Structure 1
Amino acid sequence: MIPPPRRRRLRARARYLLALLKRFRLTLAMAAVFFGAVPLVFRTLYRGPGGARITFGEALHHTYFLMFGQPSLPYVGDVFLELLNFALPPFGIAVIADGVVRFAFLFFAQKNHDKEWITVISETLRSHVIVCGAGRVGYRVSAQLLELGHEVVVIEKRPDAPFIAVLQAHDVPVLIDDVKSPQALQRTNVRHAAAIVCATDDDLANLNTALDARRLNPSIRVVLRLFDDDLGARVRDAFQAEVLSSSALAAPALALAALDPRISHSFHAGDRLMVVSDFQVTEALAALTVAELQHRFRVVTLCVRHSSEPQMHPKPAHRFKRGEVATLQGMYPDYLELRAFTGERKPPVSAVGRSDLAPLRTPEPEDGDSAI
């Protein structure tokens, strides 16, 4: 789930301001010269009909109205000052017109999330992550990265992709473009990105994008989603890229779900299968402390939940209480031994609706992944 937007929006507003200052630095510099240096010139050189000098405020007043072709100081016989009086009006009007037109363009580009605005915002980012694809996988990756505090730029070909509106509502820059376009990666400031995640459902597009990203930024970390496991192995060895297959990731979860749907996560530590599962504290567990449970069943207590906030990594002396939910991690044989100890050896038909399982945090759309 994407984190609360308040802090992210403050950071986004700061990026917008920085982007505008960067894009308008020449216009602002010319305005500073016009309203800073020019009044000083008039303040220094101008002498009235009686030889009287003027103040800086009078010089600034004259410069301001001179910009619109309405000088406020009387005519004097100084050739240089008269040349300024003739040259400055078109210059001032050009500066103002340029600023107004460019600001209006960027304002509407921001409202419409145009490519130009995404380019402007991306230029302010450093060490960000580029996610290609705004389907189920791309959205989940983006949400996880945002939850971890990393800036994300998303590239999606289809303007009607299911999660684009959600990402844009949280001020995530979403570039509507074909990732195979030569300019797509450059618009996301790939040269200063820390990593790129190619998460579309097109293996060829993912591979081409990864190669283009590595060419533009040799130090970028590349993560590819490939359906072809054989191709993934070759790419991993040849290009030093992290290649993940949806089937390879899903297979262990599906296998364990078939055996025991109460297992929420699994991974391998060397050749050992580790599992994570929630246990409702019953009479058997209520007699043990965290240290006793670990010593007897070789499982680690990650979290204990009751009516209050979750207690992460409880102290070894913490004694389990009935009604608590303990999240435990251990090797699969030890997990089975603990289930037998609690009288829950036989797994249920389904874990849906159990209070000890967290609900899915990411909403599902009706459409599939992007096919960029």
Structure 2
Amino acid sequence: MIRNSLRSRTRGKPYIGRLVRANVYDLWLLLNESWLVLIGFVILAALTSGYLAFLYPETPGSSRPQGLPEALYETLTLMTLQSDLAFPRGDLIGELIFFLTPLLGLALIFQSVLNFGRLLLDKGSRREVWQVALASTYRDHVIVCGLGRVGLRIVTQLHAAGYEAVVIERDWNSEFVQRVLNLGVPIVLGDAREPTALRQAGIRYARAVVATINNDLLNVEIALGARAVQPGIRVVLRVFNEELDRNLERTLGPNSAFSVSLVAAPTCAAAAVSRDIDYALTTSGYQLGVAQLVVQPDSEIAGFIRAVESAYRVRIVYQVSQEGRPKLYSSLNRLSAGDRITVIGTLERIEEMRQRNVAFSKAAFLTPGKLVRPTEQYNTVIVCGLGKVGFRVVNQLHKLNPRPRIVVVRLGNDRPEFVQQIGQLEGVVDVIGDARNVEVLCRAGLDEAYSVAAMTSDDLQNVQIALAARRYRPDIHIVLRTFSDVLAERLVEIFGIHTTYSTSALAGPTMAAAALAGNIRQAFFIDGRLVATDEIWLTDGHPLIGVRIDDLRERGSALVIDVQRNGETLLLPDLDMCLASGDHVTLLAPIESIQRIRNRGMRN
């Protein structure tokens, strides 16, 4: 599936160069910490060496050192009680030096100088400071504040896409710290609200700051604190409250505040009324699905790309050959057996394409298939759990046209505002009970249900709900919320589904893209590439005016998914259409292509 196909690609500066710079910075930090002791050692060595070179009284059995180098050598031997020099009897200064130098010297050497060397070479004994040294070498990176589930997803997705990140986390015992360190991503120990932590993370040279803590107020404090330390820096923050979201965007810029549940809900809702949807995005009030298919031998979707797209009214976003080689888009490309393609289109069109993608379907297309969409008989979606995600999913389902019958199963200890709001939604049925109980599911309409969406925040509870539903109805479509990628893969084997979702994994790409490019509403990964939508108003002089849509796709790696012209919305417009002044265009493109197109528009 798209969300599990990340590949690590290194775009960073050479590792050795970064290591050298980090060690130099670490040495500077150590010198700052130990300067008093080191200066004391130098003064003691200088005084003793000077005395031995110029004032030490010669005796028949002991001569004065010849020059400062020999005097320094004798000083070091004196400090370690190995000197052969005779004790200077009768010389008060000499007697004091011969007593104090070994005492102070041993203390300074063993307690300070040797400790300094050990700390300099043994990074593991002071890894918090070493992480700061590593962070000091980063440039044009993203600072991720908070290492919870969302923060972890953003870091791993940025790393997989080849972008650099530095993490600020105040709990070194967090369960995700070691996973991030294993990626080679520095972690600065501290409170991201504090200017010191932000400076240690390199905010002066950072591209953006992302606040991902599960607390709206803390994230706002982090964002405002980052702007205070580095005015103008791009900030992206996680919030749940929609009104707060709108108010923050007036201050911090458009598409800078995101609700994880709100970003993830359209995909979960689309999966509840369709099968094998990887991602769902909204454009100009329409919902489009993104799915991955493997072209079957002699299936109806094999052939020239333009012909297939025209027949099914979809667009092929990405194509990989059977041998695993990505194919750059060309209007003359063919879809062949074994090709892995990523398709975007309405849910109905994607399902039609999926049904036609059967081996030898050109000869057997009349073979009946399994139930793939809600029908008049099976038109109920049961949503289990009314937390932040479940609440958002219910709202998204209620906006669908046609709308399925929606039943919510909840334990009864839910947030009152959620219960009140779903009670105001027409046609939504509320059932109180434990969804792990088959009797409760039957009371919710399991016999007439098309799907069961387990949306609680507990992975185990969601699996138990799915098992209970499948035990009673083996053909029921299941949508599962989970965090663990490993568990998601196991569930594919157990339930035979590809509709297990992590809300943090769904929201992570959008927040990462917003941090990298700014003003991004929706993003997801395709084969390790971060792909996002972007909206552009074509005013006079814009370089895209007059450009044929298919040429923009072929030469600019940007797919036009809708055009608003003269009050009309053209969804997946004709590829031969040319863009015109006054058009409002929504593009789907890799983040690098979006930045390139924006830069061209700004230059003009």
Q: Fold-level match, TM-score > 0.5?
A: yes
Structure 2 residue 189 is matched with structure 1 residue 164: no
**Match in the other structure for 2:568:** none
CA displacement at 1:338 relative to structure 2: 3.3
CA displacement at 1:119 relative to structure 2: 3.2
Q: Deviations over 1:227-246 (max 9, x none)?
A: 11110110111232710001
Distance 2:339 2:498 in 1: 13
- Unaligned 5+ segments in structure 2 are 1-5, 44-49, 59-65, 86-93, 358-364, 374-476, 480-491, 506-604
Secondary structure of the residue aligned to 2:341 is strand
Given candidates 320, 328, 352, the residue that maps to 1:304 is 320
**Match in the other structure for 2:143:** 130
Which letter does structure 2 place at the counterpart of 1:203?
Answer: D
Secondary structure of the residue aligned to 2:278 is strand
**Contact kept in structure 2, 1:130 and 1:154, CA below 8 Å:** yes
Secondary structure of the residue aligned to 1:222 is strand
Superposed, which structure 2 residues align to 1:55-204 within 5 Å? 98-105=112-119, 110-111=124-125, 113-114=127-128, 116-147=129-160, 148-157=162-171, 159=173, 161-180=174-193, 183-204=196-217
Given candidates 357, 369, 372, the residue that maps to 1:347 is 372
Q: Deviations over 1:179-210 (max 9, x none)?
A: 44564334433333321111111111111111
Distance 1:358 1:96 in 2: 62
Which letter does structure 2 place at the counterpart of 1:288?
Answer: G
**Contact kept in structure 2, 1:262 and 1:347, CA below 8 Å:** no
**Match in the other structure for 2:276:** 262
Q: Mean Cα displacement is larger for which, 217-226 or 97-106?
A: 97-106
**Match in the other structure for 1:325:** 340
Which letter does structure 1 place at the counterpart of 2:201?
Answer: T
Distance 1:359 1:111 in 2: 41
CA displacement at 1:15 relative to structure 2: 5.1
**Match in the other structure for 2:266:** 252
Q: Structure 1 residues 172, 257: closer, same or farther in 2, change over 3 A?
A: same
Which letter does structure 1 place at the counterpart of 2:269?
Answer: A
Q: Structure 1 residues 225, 361: closer, same or farther in 2, change over 3 A?
A: closer
Number of equivalences: 357
**Match in the other structure for 2:244:** 231
**Contact kept in structure 1, 2:305 and 2:333, CA below 8 Å:** yes
Distance 2:499 2:372 in 1: 18
Q: Structure 1 residues 14, 316: closer, same or farther in 2, change over 3 A?
A: farther
Secondary structure of the residue aligned to 1:285 is coil
**Match in the other structure for 1:284:** 299
**Match in the other structure for 1:20:** 26
CA displacement at 1:150 relative to structure 2: 0.8
Given candidates 328, 335, 358, the residue that maps to 2:350 is 335
CA displacement at 1:226 relative to structure 2: 0.2
**Contact kept in structure 2, 1:336 and 1:345, CA below 8 Å:** no
CA displacement at 1:133 relative to structure 2: 1.8
**Contact kept in structure 1, 2:155 and 2:165, CA below 8 Å:** no
Secondary structure of the residue aligned to 1:276 is strand
CA displacement at 1:286 relative to structure 2: 5.5
Given candidates 226, 232, 235, the residue that maps to 1:219 is 232
Q: Structure 1 residues 200, 299: closer, same or farther in 2, change over 3 A?
A: same
**Match in the other structure for 1:76:** none
CA displacement at 1:214 relative to structure 2: 1.0
**Contact kept in structure 2, 1:19 and 1:123, CA below 8 Å:** yes
Secondary structure of the residue aligned to 1:19 is helix
Q: Deviations over 1:265-320 (max 9, x none)?
A: 232444554332122323333641223323443412402353x3242435544433
**Match in the other structure for 1:78:** none
CA displacement at 1:356 relative to structure 2: 10
Distance 2:176 2:13 in 1: 18
Distance 2:497 2:343 in 1: 12
The sequence identity of aligned pairs, in percent, is 24
Distance 2:137 2:24 in 1: 7
**Contact kept in structure 2, 1:266 and 1:275, CA below 8 Å:** yes
Secondary structure of the residue aligned to 2:342 is strand
Distance 1:345 1:320 in 2: 25
After TM superposition, the score normalised by the length of structure 2 is 0.46
- Unaligned 5+ segments in structure 1 are 35-40, 74-81, 365-372
**Contact kept in structure 2, 1:132 and 1:156, CA below 8 Å:** no
Which letter does structure 1 place at the counterpart of 2:228?
Answer: R
CA displacement at 1:55 relative to structure 2: 10
**Contact kept in structure 1, 2:315 and 2:345, CA below 8 Å:** yes
